Amino acid sequence: MPYAEFDEVRLHIRQAGSGPVALFVHGFPLDSSMWIDQLHALSEVRRCIAVDLRGFGRSSAVDGSPLRMEELANDLAGVLDLVSEERADIIGFSMGGYAALAFAEIYPKRMRTLALVDTRSGADSADGKAGRDAMAQKLVADGRAAIAELMQSGLLGPQASIAAQARLRTMIENCPYETIVGALGGMRDRTDRTEVLATIDVPTAVIVGQDDGVTPPAEAEAMAAAIGDATLTIVAESGHMSPIEQPAAVNDALLELFSRV
Ligand code: MLT
């Protein structure tokens, strides 16, 4: 089943393995291919499903209006309904982590475990919000390659391989303009979910690249401290994109998480 269709939305999904479902949620402006290394490694223990969120990858198009994190969380629940799974391991990277925290708030009983990877619980600052609008303006004025240029060095650590750089560039340059504008609006408007952390009652892994400048280790540490049953993994020699920069370390942390249930 390469697509999940419901409520007039068609989401492309990548699947590997069998067993309990683990749902992988990508970041901005990326797609499900960022999880390929995790799908290969974890398919022994889980039915891994990596979703292209609406507007991203090969999923149905969006119109550029703000993509709300709650709407993305509802889509994740829709995928679980379609594969007849009440609960899943939810793995959210960066913007996918914002959606995962919305999911944790709306559907707390549908999580078996939670992984928050290179993400944060807080909302954008005033400067951060202005930065979202400036990026949307730059995108429509100068094109996607200009955005990719800007983001490349911010997202990857100094040691990132040429292959990791290529994967990132492909994802960014394939992302539709309307999706980038919609996701920027949705992230700008998102709710601060720091208070949700204390309500999370499933085993949780907080994972962050040691050189992540977008969602720095100090924020990951604070999130892990606020969650009842959380471990913190700081991934050496990685920037923001730990799942593609250091896949083995991220896979090990997820395997450890899955062994806790
Ligand atoms: C992401 O990687 O999803 C984004 O960089 C997150 C953000 O811009 O807040």
What whole-number distance in Å separates Cα of residue 106 and Cα of residue 38?
Answer: 26
CA-187 nearest atom, ligand 1: 9
CA–CA gap between residue 4 and residue 83 (Å, rounded): 9
From ligand 1's centre to the CA of 84, what distance in Å? 30
Q: Is there an atom of ligand 1 within 6 Å of 95 CB? A: yes
Q: Which helix (H) or strand (E) holds 149?
A: helix 144-155
Measured in degrees and rounded to the nearest 5, phi and psi for residue 234 equal -100, 115
Least confident of 156-160, 188-192, 197-201, 243-247: 156-160
Rounded CA-CA distance 63/81 in Å is 25
187-224 pLDDT tens trace = 999 999 999 999 999 999 999 999 999 999 999 999 99
Domain ranges of the chain: 3-258
Look up the CATH architecture of domain 3-258. 3-Layer(aba) Sandwich (3.40)
- Residue in the block written with tokens 């979703």: 51
Q: Give the tens place of pLDDT for each residue, 22-54.
A: 999 999 999 999 999 999 999 999 999 999 999
187 C-beta closer than 6 A to ligand 1: yes
Q: What is the pLDDT of residues 107-126, one digit of tens each?
A: 999 999 999 999 999 999 99
Does any ligand 1 atom lie closer than 6 A to the CB of residue 48?
no
CB-ligand 1 contact for 28 (6 Å cutoff): yes
